[in-house]
Structure 1
């Protein structure tokens, strides 16, 4: 029960895009924009059911990978990281949920701002680059994994 209580904030953040999709579902047409080019112009339409898959791939996989990784760590070195793993989980879950909500908003408005997405990705790389310096060697996260050393 205690472990589930720790998961509630992560689940709440991960479910935000799905709740937003349910909220706008009936207002979406059957064919929705699925891809924009670098200029922000729509270059592919798809069925609105593809949005569910897109959300799961962005938010769901991020959430489940970080949920599973500590249990398959062969030497349990992730446990020695303290709160760093949870901080990284929170930041990436927030980022992916925010990106998913932005995608849904763009689909609904049929407009996109690629500079916003590029700025968010740039901030992610800057954050990860600074954060990975503080992570101790382990099997899954960072640059100092056994396979790279």
Structure 2
């Protein structure tokens, strides 16, 4: 991993801890920390717990996503697309930091429609997932890991190239969901479940086609 990328990735949890120290005195004792599908707060946390858990969670996710692939038996393959994997790690951590900032803003009295501010960030994350899948090489940690992609390299490649396109298209659909904020939760859920099911079926279908030819 290049030093500049390491600095960027490490800076995200550090920024979250700095923000915690800065905003802690400004927050109410009980902070809104969870919202229903209509965007109304329905869960609260003590501010001390909130500012401890969220930055800690961002740090833990960053460490997990960074170190877990390193114990993969096929880590050399992950090295082949590490630039895209690093970009995904950074995008994921920035997404979590963004949610953290939205929560702080709400508790400062800045109210907004959660769907409208969350969907562009989700679209960004889906785009980076698409980029990652497009370049992913066979491994046990990162990618679309079905019995058929893990068994056959050709099935892996075809599934991931298609998966990259599908996730980028999903990013566009997610942006369009901002036009229907009240339905966006269910639309996004249906979209993600459809993509997962479609790619699983596609990998099985491709494996069966190759197996039949042999």
Q: Does the alignment reach a TM-score above 0.5?
A: yes
> Is the Cα contact below 8 Å between 1:35 and 1:43 reproduced in 2?
yes
Alpha-carbon separation, structure 2, partners of 1:103 and 1:148: 41
Specify the alignment match of 1:56 in structure 2. 56
- Kindly name which structure, 1 or 2, has the bigger radius of gyration based on alpha carbons: 2
Structure 2: distance between partners of 1:114 and 1:74: 41
TM-score, with normalisation over the residues of structure 1? Answer: 0.80
Structure 1 residue 100: Cα displacement? 1.7
CA distance in 2 between counterparts of 1:42 and 1:83 reads 38
Instruction: Name the SS of the counterpart of 1:34 in structure 2.
Output: strand
Matches within 5 A, 1:1-149: 7-51=6-50, 52-57=52-57, 59-76=58-75, 77-109=77-109, 111-115=111-115, 116-143=117-144, 145=145, 147=147, 149=149
Task: Answer 1 or 2: higher relative contact order, Cα 8 Å, separation at least 6.
Answer: 1
Are residues 135 and 37 of structure 1, via their aligned partners in 2, closer, same or farther at CA, if it must alter by over 3 Å? Answer: same
- Tell me how far apart the structure 1 counterparts of residues 113 and 55 of structure 2 sit (CA, whole Å): 19
* Per-residue CA distance 1:6-31 (angstroms, 9 max, x = gap): 53221112222221121011111211
SS at 1:43's partner residue? strand
- In 2, Cα distance between the equivalents of 1:66 and 1:24? 28
Instruction: Report if aligned partners of 1:41, 1:111 keep a CA contact under 8 Å in 2.
Output: no
Query: Does structure 1 conserve the Cα–Cα contact (< 8 Å) formed by 2:87 and 2:128?
Result: no
1:32-69 CA-partner distances (Å, limit 9, x unpaired) = 11222222222222211231213322x12321112212
Alpha-carbon displacement from aligned partner over 1:95-128 (angstroms, at most 9, x marks no partner): 2222222222222326343111133223322442
Note if contact 2:69-2:142 (Cα within 8 Å) is conserved in structure 1.
Answer: no
Q: Unaligned regions of 5+ residues in structure 2, if any?
A: 150-214
The structural deviation recorded for 1:5 is 6.9
Counterpart Cα distance in 1 of 2:124 and 2:2 = 30
Compare 66-75 and 5-14 and name the one that shifted more.
5-14
User: Structure 1: any 5+ residue segments left out of the alignment?
Assistant: none
Shift of 1:135: 1.4
Contact 1:31 1:46 in 2 (8 A): yes
* TM-score normalised by structure 2 residue count: 0.58
SS of the equivalent of 1:83 reads helix
